[in-house]
Each structure stands twice: as C-alpha cells, then as structure tokens.
A and B are shown apart, each in its own frame.
Chain A
Amino acid sequence: MTDTDLKLARTARRGDRRALEALYDRHKGRLLGYLHKMLGDRETAEDVFQEVWIKVMRALPDYRPTHGSFRPWLFRIAANASVDRMRREKRRAGPELDAPAGDDSSERVVDRIADDAPTPESRGIGAAIGQDIDLALTSLPERQRNAVLLRHQQGMSYKEISTTLQVPEGTAKTLVHRGSQALREKLSNWSDE
C-alpha cells in the first residue's frame, strides 16, 4: 500500500493527474471518515474534504517521499484544515461557548452542552452509542481527538501519528493514551467500554 502510494505520489508530483486521481480513490473514504468524526458534522466534513484535496494539489510539489509515506502527509493536511475550520466556527459562534461554566473553571459552556445531551436510555441503543461517542470526541482537546482518531479509527502506527501531528513518537503515545482515557471516562455509562 505504501509503495504504491509513494509511486503514485512521485508520478503525481510530476504533473500526472491520473496518478493524483488514483491517490484520491485510495484515500477518499478513510479521509471522509476521519473528517466526519473530527468535525462531528457530515456537511462540514464534506466541505473540508473538498478543501483538503485542493490543498493537496497545491502542496504536492513540496511533498518529499523521503520524509514519510503519503498517508500521514495527507492526514496532516486534513488535520490542519479541520483544526482551522473548528477555530473559525468557534470564533463565529462567539467566545461565550468557550467561557468557563459556573464556578468550576475547568468546565466550559460548550462541555456543559455536551453533558446536557439526552441519555442513552432516552434514545435507541444503536443510534445512542454513535452519538455519545461523537459528543465525547468533540469534547476532547483537538490534539487528543486527532490522536485517538488516527490510532483507533484509522489504525495508524504511533510513528505515523507522530509524523501526522508533527510531534515526537512519545508525545503521540501520550496523546493517544490520555485521549482514550478521557473517552473511556466520558463513556463510562456504557458497561462494555
């Protein structure tokens, strides 16, 4: 998979659009899956998905196969694009969502919204677990959410995660561990988690 990606990326760098399209076909589904969970909204994910491929076209001449395989490079562009989008959305929503809620300064208004969501019992079990995971994910800090998704959703190695997030491998492990732990705590009402 990596070898094919590298060959295709090298060819695409030279201006071969068929190679670029082949790369798109190989990664489109996983990229959209990642963006959907990262952004928590299908419509926004599709919008950012499109942005990412335009950025890939622009950044392709700077892609160096020697610096790592194509997938972490692609997901780095996607991670940056999704963080940019989240920050833009947050600014648009106003600073009040990010403000401390009540006396407990560690809790934000946006977190309380997530906590006030319907309980699993009040919804169908199948839909509820998916929605609870989405809510739990969106309440994680950006870097932890990224690390958890890259590891547990996309099945990346710690090395790939460190390349994607541009952090040392040890930091990648810590981010995944802390993110997973936070996710477990938030989903503690699910006995089998």
Chain B
Amino acid sequence: MTAKEVLRKSANLSIPAELDHRVRTALRTMPLEVRRFALPVMALGLASAATLAMAVSLALSFAAAGAAESGVPIAVTLVVGYLGLSSVIVLPLLLTLKTVRRDAGATA
C-alpha cells in the first residue's frame, strides 16, 4: 500500500456523535451574521434615487426661475439643501443597514 493510498483512505472520517451534536447545536443556535443588503445593490439604488430626486428638484427650480427673477437663488438653495440632507441622512442610514445581525429566534 502506498502513502497516497493511505492518505486517500484517511480523507473522510466519521464524526463522533457528541462532537456532531455540539456543532449542530452551534449551527442552530449561535447568532448568524447576515448581510441583508449587498453593497453594490444599495449603492445603485441610492444613486438612482438621488438622480431622480435631483432631476425633480432641478425641474422645480428652473420652473420657479422662469416664473420670477429670483428663481435662480431659489434653485441653488434647493440643490445645495438636497445634497446636504442626503449626505446627513442617507449615508449614516447606509452604514447602519450594511450588516444586520439576526438573532437565532428570527431565523430558527
């Protein structure tokens, strides 16, 4: 019998019942980290939402600018306000949602 044959024979061992039970219990009960939102999908969604909101905001601003001479400052204020709000609210939200810890009860 060659060393390779001996190694091949040792490739698959049976798991003692006690060890098997311990590992299964851990697999069934330990908190499982679950990434609910994939980062690229989130980023894409966020970018689409931001672009849409920006387009609406600009359209409203230019409509206002057409209606009155003071429209341009209003448009600038709206755009700057929108960007500021999105960075303050959306970014922390994005980071919070990145990984969601789901406890045992939620998935069992």
- Is A154 within 8 A of B11, CB to CB? yes
A-contact bits for B30-60, CB 8 A (1 contact / 0 none) = 1011111000000000000000000000000
Q: Count residues of chain A with CB under 8 A from any CB of chain B.
A: 41
* Among candidates A24, A46, A54, residue contacting B30 with C-beta atoms closer than 8 Å: A54
**Total inter-chain residue pairs, C-beta < 8 Å:** 99
- Bound-complex Cα distance A89 to B64 (A): 74
Residue A75, interface by CB 8 Å: no
If A17-B107, A21-B27 touch, does A193 touch B3 (CB 8 Å cutoff)? yes
- Is B7 within 8 A of A14, CB to CB? no
Name A153-172 residues within 8 Å CB distance of B.
153-155
Q: Count residues of chain B with CB under 8 A from any CB of chain A.
A: 33
CB distance from B87 to the nearest CB of A (A): 26
* Chain A residues with CB under 8 A of B26: 50, 53-54, 57
Interface set of B (CB-CB < 8 Å, partner A): 1-4, 6-8, 10-16, 19-20, 22-24, 26-28, 30, 32-36, 99, 102, 106-108
- Bound-complex Cα distance A153 to B19 (A): 23
Known A24-B23, A183-B3; 15 more pairs at CB < 8 Å: A14-B34, A17-B28, A17-B107, A17-B108, A21-B24, A28-B23, A37-B10, A57-B26, A57-B30, A60-B32, A133-B3, A133-B7, A148-B7, A154-B11, A192-B2
* Among candidates A17, A21, A29, A190, residue contacting B3 with C-beta atoms closer than 8 Å: A190
CB distance from B103 to the nearest CB of A (A): 10
CB distance from B70 to the nearest CB of A (A): 51
* Chain B residues with CB under 8 A of A152: 3-4, 7-8
* Among candidates B6, B20, B27, residue contacting A57 with C-beta atoms closer than 8 Å: B27
Interface centre among B12, B16, B19 (most CB of A within 10 A): B12
* Chain A residues with CB under 8 A of B107: 15-17
- Is A17 within 8 A of B27, CB to CB? yes
Interface set of A (CB-CB < 8 Å, partner B): 13-17, 20-21, 24, 28-30, 32-34, 36-37, 46, 49-50, 53-54, 57-58, 60-61, 129-130, 133, 136, 148-149, 152-155, 183-184, 187, 190, 192-193
CB distance from B59 to the nearest CB of A (A): 39
- Is B10 within 8 A of A49, CB to CB? no
If A13-B35, A28-B15 touch, does A53 touch B23 (CB 8 Å cutoff)? yes
- Bound-complex Cα distance A192 to B2 (A): 6
If A15-B102, A17-B27, A24-B24 touch, does A29 touch B15 (CB 8 Å cutoff)? yes
